[in-house]
Amino acid sequence: MGHRAHVAMDEALADVARVGPYFSVDIDPDIADHPLWRPLTTLYGPALPDQIAAVRVRLGTTEERVAASLLFQGVAGRLWSPVLATAVIHGRVPGLDPAGTYWRAASPGPILLATPGAPTLPAGPAVLRRVVVDGHLAPLVTAVRAVTPVAEGLLWGNAASALVGAMTVVSRARPAVSGTALRFVEELLAEPPLAGTGDFGRYGFRRRSCCLYYRVPGGGKCGDCALL
């Protein structure tokens, strides 16, 4: 049964990878021994300052907090996208244990993710919250704020924005699951730490904070920005 569950999750992840690059997760079992792939726990620790510096250079900004904010938002998008998609399309969630989920840097673009042999969990907002928020984003919020002074509310706003972005993409790709995706997202946004980060209105989701992208040379304000 356990082996079949792994196969079924691998099949679900392979399917949702077709939605877009943010939804792609490598499932190669040899990744754990590959020198370029590291457990995500390292990104929430010793590797974080170098990754923030790399993003700062790539964006052409001198502000570390801007780079940290946008790195966080990219990681949040990479985590939410496959987890939300497998939940609403296949009714299951990959158990992304931080020590058993791997990352490697990519430029340009967000980090690459891999989760060989991820266990299968039942789909539901509470499970998504436990896997993504408790397992990954909460430690990353703490790690980012230990490196550079970024407001906690701003980072959770980034997480909410990334979640809504993932919902929008998967709903367009698989319209049949759009109602389920919206219900999951609304339940996630109703509970801490995402509660109060933004609201759905006449023109879609509007967050109550700003990711600071407008401070990047050549940047601007996102469609859900509180500054619009």
- The answer to whether 82 and 113 have CB atoms below 8 angstroms apart is yes
Structural domain that includes position 133: 2-215
Residue 7: the pLDDT is: 56
In a domain, 175, yes or no: yes
Residue 117: the pLDDT is: 85
**How many independent structural domains does the chain possess?**
1
In a domain, 228, yes or no: no
Query: Three-class SS of residue 98?
Result: coil
C-alpha to C-alpha distance for 166 and 161, rounded to whole angstroms: 9
Residues in the chain where the model's pLDDT stays below 70? 1-7, 228
C-alpha to C-alpha distance for 175 and 1, rounded to whole angstroms: 31
In a domain, 220, yes or no: no
Residue 2: the pLDDT is: 45
In a domain, 225, yes or no: no
195: left (phi over 0), alpha (psi -120 to 50) or beta: beta
In a domain, 21, yes or no: yes
CA 119 to chain centre: 19
pTM metric for this prediction: 0.94
In a domain, 221, yes or no: no
In a domain, 227, yes or no: no
In a domain, 67, yes or no: yes
The CATH code of the domain that includes 188 is 1.10.510
